C-alpha cells in the first residue's frame, strides 16, 4: 500500500453522450455550435442532476496534475454519487492551451459514459505553453457554448477551472472572462477556480473569476495536493470488475451498435492501461446508483430483460448480439438468465471487497497530515455547499478514495 499526496487535476473528462458526439478541436475563429441536450434515461430524469465540467490547462507545466487526474477521476465521481438523493452525474471537459500550440481547446461533451470520458483523459498529454498567459477566455467560452448543459430544473451545474497561468487579455475577436461569467451566472452555472502554483497574477485573476462565478477559489501546489491511497484489495476488485463487464450484452440498430462498440473499446482500454487502484475506484463508482448508467450504457440486454423493461421476444433477431441471432428462443432466454446470475454473484463479491477497501482507506487517510487541506476535501466541500442549494445533500465524511 502506498499513501501520500500526489497531483490531481480535476478535469474530468467526459465523452459525448454515450459516444454520440466526437471530440471537438477549436481554433480562435471556430464558430460556437450549441449542441443538443444529451438525454438522460427515464429513471435518471426523475433524480437531481450534477453537470460538472473541468476546464483544464494542458500545457507543459501541468503534467503532474494530468497524470494524477487519471488516477482520481473515479473517486471524485464516487464522492459526488454519495449525495442524497443520489444524483445523475454527467461530466465534461474543456482542455486548453494557447494559440500557436497543437490546439487551442479540445472539448468533450457532458456525458454519463464515464468509461469513454476516462479513455479520452488517458490520451491527454501536457505539452506546449511556457510563454505566460494561456487561452483561458476561449476555454470558458467553449465551456458555456459547446457543451450540452442540462435543462433539468434541479441540475447543479458547475465548472472547475484548473490552471497556473492567467488569461490572454490582448486577443481580438474573443469574449473575456468578466462578460462570460455574467452569462454563466444568468444560466445558473457556478464557476470555481483552482490555481496551481504561486503566480500572484494568476491568484488575483482566479480569485476574481471565483467571485464573479459564484464559486470558490482554491490554491494548490504545482503538483496538486490530492490524496493518493491504494489498498491491498485493488487487484482483486479490478479483476472481478473486468469479469462483471464481460456479462454485458447489447442490442440495437446500426447506429446504436456503433455507440456501444465505442463504449466497449473504452472499457477495454482502461482494463489494459489503467492502474489496479483506478480500476477498483471505477468498480466502486459503478456499484452506486449514479454509476449504474456508466456500467450499463445504452440498450443493455441482461438488465433490460431481467428488470422486465424489455421483452426479449419482441426484439428483431437482426438487432440482437451476433452470437444470439442464430439461437432458438429458449437458448436466448437461458443465456440471459445465466448472465444475470453471474452478474449478481460478481456484484456481491465486489460489494464485499469494496466495503473492506473503503474501511482500509478511511483509516489510511486519517494518518495523512494534509488530509483536511487536500484537493479531494476542498473539491467535495465545494460540491457539498453548492449542491445543497439545489436539494442534494452530503454528509461531511462522504469522501471516497
Q: What is the pLDDT of residues 189-240, one digit of tens each?
A: 999 999 988 999 999 999 999 999 999 999 888 777 778 789 999 999 999 9
**Can the peptide bond before residue 130 be classed as cis, meaning omega within 30 degrees of 0?**
no
pTM for the model: 0.85
Query: How far lies 187's CA from each of 97, 156, 213, in Å?
Result: 26, 11, 11
Domains of the chain by range and CATH? 3-229+369-388 (3.40.50.410), 234-359 (no CATH)
pLDDT digits (tens, 9 = 90+) for 19-46: 333 355 554 433 333 333 333 444 445 7
Confidence of residue 12 (pLDDT cuts 50, 70, 90): very low
Range of weakest confidence among 14-18, 268-272, 283-287: 14-18
CB atoms within 10 A of CB 273: 13
pLDDT range class, residue 129, cuts 50, 70, 90: confident
Q: Which residues contact 61 (CB under 8 A, 6 or more apart)?
A: 126, 129, 130, 164, 165, 196, 197, 222
Cell of 298: 445504452
Place of cell 466502486: 284
Given pLDDT bands bounded at 50, 70 and 90, which one contains residue 8?
Answer: very low
**pLDDT single digits (tens) 380-389:** 999 999 999 9
CA dihedral for 325, 331, 332, 337, sign (positive or negative): negative
Q: Does 85 score more than 90 pLDDT?
A: yes
**Nearest Cα residue to 40 out of 92, 110, 107:** 110
Q: pLDDT > 70: what percent of the chain?
A: 89
Mark 358-392 as b/e (b = at least 16 C-beta within 10 Å): bebbeebbeeeeebeebbbbbbbbbbbebbeebeb
pLDDT at 298 over 50: yes
Q: Is the pLDDT of residue 112 over 90?
A: yes
CB 247 within 8 A of CB 302: yes
- Is pLDDT larger for residue 370 or for residue 83? 83
pLDDT of amino acid 39: 38
- CA 325 to CA 312: how far, in whole Å? 12
Determine the pLDDT at residue 268. Answer: 95
Amino acid at each position: 500500500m502506498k499513501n501520500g499526496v500526489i497531483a490531481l487535476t480535476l478535469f474530468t473528462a467526459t465523452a459525448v453522450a454515450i459516444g454520440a458526439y466526437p471530440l471537438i478541436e477549436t481554433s480562435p475563429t471556430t464558430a460556437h455550435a450549441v449542441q443538443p441536450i444529451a438525454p438522460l434515461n427515464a429513471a435518471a430524469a426523475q433524480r437531481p442532476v450534477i453537470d460538472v465540467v473541468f476546464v483544464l490547462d494542458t500545457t507543459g507545466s501541468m503534467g503532474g496534475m494530468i497524470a494524477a487526474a487519471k488516477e482520481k477521476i473515479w473517486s471524485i465521481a464516487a464522492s459526488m454519487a454519495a449525495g442524497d438523493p443520489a444524483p445523475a452525474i454527467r461530466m465534461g471537459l474543456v482542455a486548453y492551451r494557447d494559440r500557436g500550440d497543437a490546439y487551442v481547446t479540445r472539448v468533450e461533451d457532458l456525458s454519463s459514459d464515464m468509461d469513454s470520458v476516462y479513455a479520452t483523459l488517458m490520451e491527454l498529454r501536457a505539452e506546449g505553453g511556457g510563454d505566460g498567459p494561456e487561452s483561458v477566455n476561449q476555454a470558458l467560452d467553449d465551456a458555456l457554448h459547446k457543451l450540452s448543459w442540462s435543462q433539468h430544473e434541479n441540475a447543479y451545474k458547475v465548472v472547475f477551472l484548473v490552471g497556473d497561468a492567467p488569461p490572454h487579455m490582448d486577443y481580438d475577436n474573443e469574449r473575456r472572462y468578466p462578460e462570460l461569467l455574467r452569462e454563466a451566472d444568468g444560466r445558473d452555472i457556478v464557476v470555481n477556480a483552482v490555481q496551481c502554483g504561486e503566480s500572484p497574477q494568476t491568484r488575483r485573476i482566479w480569485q476574481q473569476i471565483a467571485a464573479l462565478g459564484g464559486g470558490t477559489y482554491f490554491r494548490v501546489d504545482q503538483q496538486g495536493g490530492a490524496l493518493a491511497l491504494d489498498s491491498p484489495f485493488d487487484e482483486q476488485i479490478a479483476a472481478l470488475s473486468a469479469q462483471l463487464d464481460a456479462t454485458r450484452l447489447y442490442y440495437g440498430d446500426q447506429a446504436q451498435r456503433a455507440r456501444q462498440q465505442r463504449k466497449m473499446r473504452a472499457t477495454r482500454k482502461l482494463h489494459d492501461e489503467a492502474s489496479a487502484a483506478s480500476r477498483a475506484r471505477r468498480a466502486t463508482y459503478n456499484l452506486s446508483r449514479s454509476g449504474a448508467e456508466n456500467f450499463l450504457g445504452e440498450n443493455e440486454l441482461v438488465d433490460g430483460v431481467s428488470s422486465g423493461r424489455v421483452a426479449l421476444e419482441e426484439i428483431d433477431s437482426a438487432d440482437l448480439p451476433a452470437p444470439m441471432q442464430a439461437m432458438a428462443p429458449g437458448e436466448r432466454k437461458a443465456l440471459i438468465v445465466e448472465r444475470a446470475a453471474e452478474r449478481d454473484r460478481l456484484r456481491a463479491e465486489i460489494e464485499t471487497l469494496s466495503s473492506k477497501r473503503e474501511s482500509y482507506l478511511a483509516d489510511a487517510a486519517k494518518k495523512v497530515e494534509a488530509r483536511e487541506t487536500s484537493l479531494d476535501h476542498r473539491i467535495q466541500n465545494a460540491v457539498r455547499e453548492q449542491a445543497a442549494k439545489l436539494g442534494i445533500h452530503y454528509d461531511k465524511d462522504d469522501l471516497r478514495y
